[in-house]
């Protein structure tokens, strides 16, 4: 009997030791992983999937769906696959310089936030959270005029950061002028005018989910707390022309940027009106189906106004490879919208910061692969268009060789 008891006790002790050792190994492994792995998820697709699982269906659909058959929205992302990167080796590059300038203001990376609405649906005080993340990472934040927080509140969260105010052409231009005056007083550095919102759109899921009953409950800090439906319908002009842009340039010394240009002809007209920058954008595919992707018309816009104004792109940017492709085609910087909402949904300001860190690290990795020491060194030679014949190289190969190798 004593022998049996001893055997049982020995077995129990062995089991305890085994499971104790396994628990210890798991703790040690967790500590090692925490030491070497960054917080958050690994790709923007994972952040989008997290938002899909955690947001109410009507909100996620409002964030992600496009107009009509959603062909424009899908094309925005897919069109980047037309271009390949041109790998370069032994280029003797250390850490690439990712900084650049937009309208004369330095930014840490050629990236900015598009004027996205309903951030508070993704995270409490989402407007303020995204502003803090933009300031922390040294990028341009385009603040939408119909944000839930006022432009002054957002400026207070990012006092030293680069902020542009987005507006619409108004029925009463005195309202537009008043908004511009407030932006000047709050330290905004440019005015962005969305010019692609003057026709009716149809987003199927918005009607299916009755999104308008939720929009009625929103309030907007720049319009005395009025809900979106009332503020938008009362103020935004149903018809507009380039004359309104010309008059806007005369209202302020701040540079004017127009968002929604998708043709070389419109880019030329913008330059003639005194505009300092254009954002090539189809409104994230939310205004009209069967439009080309932003990246598909970028180069023709750049070619038309290269020496007259700065050109940026919005739509479909999801990685460092997308950013370098856009810059190679002539964009001065890229703007992102939906990824900001996914980051907010994940963990507020911290989630948006994680999105920006992913894009920054990805861009740095791609620049090393393509032999670009700085953003100014990103030229058309770093990409290959699979639809175009391969041209011969014009690169001076000696620039990568040491003096001793030339002898």
Note the pLDDT of residue 406. 37
Note the pLDDT of residue 227. 80
Give the Cα separation of 349 and 45 in Å (integer).
Answer: 18
Q: Which residue has the tokens 């806007």?
A: 248
> Per-residue pLDDT tens for 351-361?
999 999 999 99
With residue 100 as reference, give the H or E element that holds it. strand 100-102
**DSSP letters for 253-272:** SS-EEEEEE-SHHHHHHHHH
Note the pLDDT of residue 405. 37
Note the pLDDT of residue 38. 60
By DSSP bridging, strand 256-261 and strand 277-280 are parallel
Please identify which of the residues 137, 283, 387, 406 carries the catalytic annotation. Answer: 283
Q: Which residue has the tokens 């907010």?
A: 344
Note the pLDDT of residue 216. 86
Note the pLDDT of residue 128. 97
Residue 397 pLDDT grade (very low, low, confident, very high; cuts 50, 70, 90) = very low
- Closest residue by Cα to residue 195 from 167, 232, 229: 167
Q: For residue 387, indicate whether it is catalytic.
A: no
Note the pLDDT of residue 29. 60
Q: What is the pTM of this model?
A: 0.87
Note the pLDDT of residue 175. 94
Give the Cα separation of 270 and 299 in Å (integer).
Answer: 16
The answer to whether residues 266 and 305 touch, using CB atoms and an 8 Å cutoff, is no
Residue 219 pLDDT grade (very low, low, confident, very high; cuts 50, 70, 90) = confident
> Per-residue pLDDT tens for 35-80?
445 667 899 999 999 999 999 999 999 999 999 999 999 999 999 9
> Per-residue pLDDT tens for 121-153?
999 999 999 999 999 999 999 999 999 999 999
Domains belonging to the chain, first-starting first, are 44-383 (3.20.20.70)
Note the pLDDT of residue 126. 97
81 Cβ neighbours under 8 A, 6+ residues apart: none
Specify the DSSP class assigned to residue 82: G
305 Cβ neighbours under 8 A, 6+ residues apart: 264, 267, 268, 270, 271, 278, 311
Is a pLDDT exceeding 90 seen at residue 394?
A: no
Q: Rounded to the nearest 5 degrees, what angle is found at the Cα of 334, between the Cα atoms of 202 and 198? A: 30
Give the Cα separation of 178 and 233 in Å (integer).
Answer: 18
Chain-centre distance for alpha carbon 27: 37
Q: Which residue has the tokens 């007259």?
A: 308
Coil/strand/helix, residue 334: strand
Note the pLDDT of residue 113. 98
Residue 402 pLDDT grade (very low, low, confident, very high; cuts 50, 70, 90) = very low
Reading the block at residue 264, the tokens are 């070389």
Residue 140 β-bridge partners: 112, 162
The answer to whether residues 359 and 323 touch, using CB atoms and an 8 Å cutoff, is yes
Specify the DSSP class assigned to residue 236: B
With residue 146 as reference, give the H or E element that holds it. none
The pair phi, psi for residue 117, each rounded to 5°, is -90, 165
Task: Among 95-109, 184-198, 222-236, name the one with the lowest average pLDDT.
Answer: 222-236
For residue 402, how many other CB atoms are within 10 A of its CB? 9
The answer to whether residues 120 and 127 touch, using CB atoms and an 8 Å cutoff, is yes
- Closest residue by Cα to residue 158 from 119, 178, 124, 132: 132
257 Cβ neighbours under 8 A, 6+ residues apart: 103, 164, 190, 191, 192, 193, 275, 276, 277, 278, 279, 312
Average pLDDT over residues 7-11: 76
**DSSP letters for 54-80:** HS-HHHHHHHH--STTSHHHHHHHHGG
Note the pLDDT of residue 40. 77
Task: Among 24-28, 311-315, 332-336, name the one with the lowest average pLDDT.
Answer: 24-28
> Per-residue pLDDT tens for 363-389?
999 999 999 999 999 999 999 998 876
């Amino acid at each position: 009997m004593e022998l049996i008891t001893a055997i049982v006790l020995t077995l129990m002790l062995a089991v305890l030791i085994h499971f104790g050792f396994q628990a210890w190994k798991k703790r040690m492994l967790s500590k090692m992983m925490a030491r070497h792995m960054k917080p958050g998820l690994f790709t923007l697709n994972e952040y989008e999937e997290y938002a899909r699982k955690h947001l109410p269906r009507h909100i996620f659909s409002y964030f992600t769906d496009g107009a009509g058959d959603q062909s424009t929205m899908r094309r925005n992302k897919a069109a980047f696959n037309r271009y390949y990167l041109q790998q370069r080796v032994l280029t003797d590059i250390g850490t690439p310089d990712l900084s650049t300038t937009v309208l004369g203001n330095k930014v840490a990376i050629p990236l900015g936030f598009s004027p996205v609405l309903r951030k508070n649906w993704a995270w409490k005080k989402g407007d303020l959270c995204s502003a803090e993340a933009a300031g922390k990472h040294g990028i341009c934040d385009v603040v939408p005029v119909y944000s839930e927080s006022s432009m002054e509140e957002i400026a207070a969260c990012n006092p030293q950061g680069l902020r542009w105010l987005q507006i619409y052409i108004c029925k009463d231009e005195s309202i537009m002028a008043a908004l511009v005056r407030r932006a000047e007083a709050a330290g905004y550095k440019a005015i962005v005018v969305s010019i692609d919102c003057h026709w009716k759109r149809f987003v199927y899921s918005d009607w299916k989910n009755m999104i308008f009953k939720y929009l009625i409950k929103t309030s907007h800090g720049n319009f005395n707390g009025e809900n979106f439906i009332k503020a938008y319908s009362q103020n935004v002009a149903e018809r507009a022309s380039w004359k309104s842009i010309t008059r806007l340039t005369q209202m302020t010394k701040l540079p004017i940027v127009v968002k929604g240009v998708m043709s070389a002809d419109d880019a030329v007209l913008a330059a003639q009106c005194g505009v300092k920058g254009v954002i090539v954008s189809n409104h994230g595919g939310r205004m009209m189906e069967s439009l080309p992707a932003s990246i598909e018309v970028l180069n023709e816009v750049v070619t038309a106004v290269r020496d007259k104004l700065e050109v940026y792109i919005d739509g479909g940017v999801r990685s460092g490879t997308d950013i370098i492709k856009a810059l190679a085609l002539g964009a001065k910087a890229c703007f992102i919208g939906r990824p900001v909402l996914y980051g907010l949904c994940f963990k507020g300001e911290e989630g948006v910061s994680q999105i920006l860190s992913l894009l920054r690290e990805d861009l740095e990795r791609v620049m090393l692969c393509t032999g670009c020491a700085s953003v100014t060194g990103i030229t058309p030679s770093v990409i290959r268009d699979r639809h175009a014949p391969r041209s011969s190289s014009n690169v001076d190969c000696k620039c990568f060789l040491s003096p001793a190798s030339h002898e």
